Amino acid sequence: MHDMIRNTVATAALALLATSPLTHAMDNAPSATASALNARSTAPLAPSLLKADEYKETDVWGRIRSGYAIPDIDNSLVQRHTQAYSARPDSLKRISGRASPYLYHIVQELEKRGMPTELALLPVIESAFNPQALSTADAAGLWQFVPGTGKDYDLKQNMFKDERRGVLASTDAALSYLQRLYTMFGDWQLALAAYNWGEGNIQRIVKKNQALGKPTDFESLAELMPAETRNYVPKLQAVKNIIANPAQYNVALPAIDNQPYFTAIDKTSDIDVAVAAQLAEMSLDEFKALNPQFKKPVITGGEKTKILLPKANAEKFQLNLAQWGRELSSWTTHKITSARTSIAALASKFGTTPEVIRQANNIPAKSTVTAGSTILVPKVSASNAGDIAENIIDNAVVAFEAERSPRVKASTSRYKAKAATSSKNRIARNTSSKRKQR
């Protein structure tokens, strides 16, 4: 259990809400054990909740409202956050727009598990529905998983991808963790507080109140929680209130059709991100918005590799792929064996520019890669035609160090030469003086 509180770094997309202290995305992701992966909640559906295939709603927002099942709270913090969010309707509208590709899938998964559908709104608090959100504790994605928790939930994190950012994998992991917490506490509000602060901390304050004969519901325990957690559930309640009746708060939500936005395509061979977007007839930005887990310009193959595409684009992808007739990937890997390999030398070796090498490998300016690192490089011969090996995908690492400056070397050389000359002059003068003394 990693009990920690994370302060989300507001990215450009998250800056929409950054001006209000009440609307910072919370980003704590406590850890769990691997055994929790198969945990399933016994939480009842709301009385009015219909099965997914019985829905007559035409809009996902209506579907979410119909599945509200967490008891409401109404206190000064809820009122405060409701006012703060509703005071910025344009920001909520933009966040809702970012949520539109993902919400149907999240609601569908919640219903399959019999979970309250207002949990689909939790990424508003966690990440403002930005899959690229990253906290100071390195928590990433819509659901803000820290690396350790991600590994506990089998979210792959390697040089090529980070499934904490992937819509399918991270949603499955987040809902599994929330179910585990509900099973542990028997209360959704405490489960949410534990998601933010850590299950160990919630267990501790529950036991403390039990020993004192005090209530152990969320509001009775709130005064024992840090401010971030004390505000976490009220923030979700505030968003829930606004979604329940947006007109009352002067908020216009974008319509989201009650049908799948994307479909998953299995991809068993390497393919460049740019090629995949081209085949799907999508812009790079559109493609990356649905596939934010891929960190490199190439998507490596494998049995479990999936790319998400809108249905119409998926059909175009398959048609264009059948007619492609060329290499799908232009990248391979290269292991650095020398500690003195420069980026310029690597670029020359692989027929490209230093800028391409740096960009493909996220190499900082004025840095180079250390010996033992594996980097991505362009394919230069038929011998590189195959896919990147699975053992490389799983184990490749890269490390950087400051470049050795040629100017420093030259300066040092000049200094040494000057010092040597001065020394010779002193020796010559001393010798001359001694000769004169003789």
Residues with a catalytic annotation lie at: 126
Tokens of 129: 């529905």
Provide the residue type at 394 as one letter. Answer: D
Closest CA to 298 of 360, 382, 357: 360
The gap from C-alpha 387 to its chain's centroid, in whole angstroms, comes to 26
Which two structure tokens, joined as six digits, stand for 274? Answer: 């740019």
Q: Are 415 and 392 in contact (CB under 8 A)?
A: no
Q: Phi and psi for 213 in degrees, rounded to 5? A: 70, 25
Q: How many whole angstroms separate alpha carbon 185 and alpha carbon 188?
A: 8
Q: Count Cβ atoms below 10 Å from residue 212 Cβ, excluding itself.
A: 8
CA distance 79 to 377: 54
- How far apart CA 276 and CA 94 sit, in angstroms, is 27
Cα torsion 210, 212, 213, 214: sign:
negative
Which residue, chain included where needed, has tokens 């569908």?
108
Per the rule left: phi > 0, alpha: psi between -120 and 50, beta: everything else, 161 is beta
Task: State the SS3 of 379-413.
Answer: CCCHHHCCCCCHHHHHHCCCCEEECCCHHHHHHHH
Neighbours of 291 (CB within 10 A): 22
